[in-house]
Amino acid sequence: MDKERMIGLASDHAGYEMKEMVKNYLKKKGLAFKDFGTYSNDSCDYPDFAHPLALAIENGDVYPGIAMCGSGEGMSITLNKHQGIRASLVWSPELAHMTRLHNDANILVLPARYISENEADKIMDEFLSTEFEGGRHVSRIDKIPAK
């Protein structure tokens, strides 16, 4: 992972505690980040934070992104409404590896209520260290945006 890049973060209330843990993880790795909220565990709506993260990725302001909510589904569904986003809901390091390698995922989505801090660390290690393979996968990715 290029230490010059800014990683975008977003969560709802259910993912807030994990987002704070992710911030500590990134600080320990010396990686910069921008937090798009939420900023507490008060009840809120995940789209309010998913959309600004997605727009920042699409505009090139941050890359990659890490998002989290209780199940990860709400964030993933919302993020993937954006044409330039390939958000992947991941619960194991193996899936993190494959979604970067084959899908060039640009946002990692974590299911905050279903994985431990240790599991999240391993998933982020894999996601942030795996490069897109390219090759035959490029034409597949090029077909994703709706025309």
Cα separation of 115 and 112, whole Å?
6
Which residue has 């992104």 as its token pair? 65
Strands (E), the chain: 6-11, 32-35, 65-69, 87-89, 107-111
Catalytic residues: 69, 102
Instruction: Let me know: does 124 contact 108? Beta carbons within 8 Å.
Output: yes
Which residue has 């998913």 as its token pair? 50
CB hemisphere CA count around 114 (13 angstroms) = 14
The token pair that represents 3 in the structure block: 């230490």
Cα separation of 123 and 24, whole Å?
15
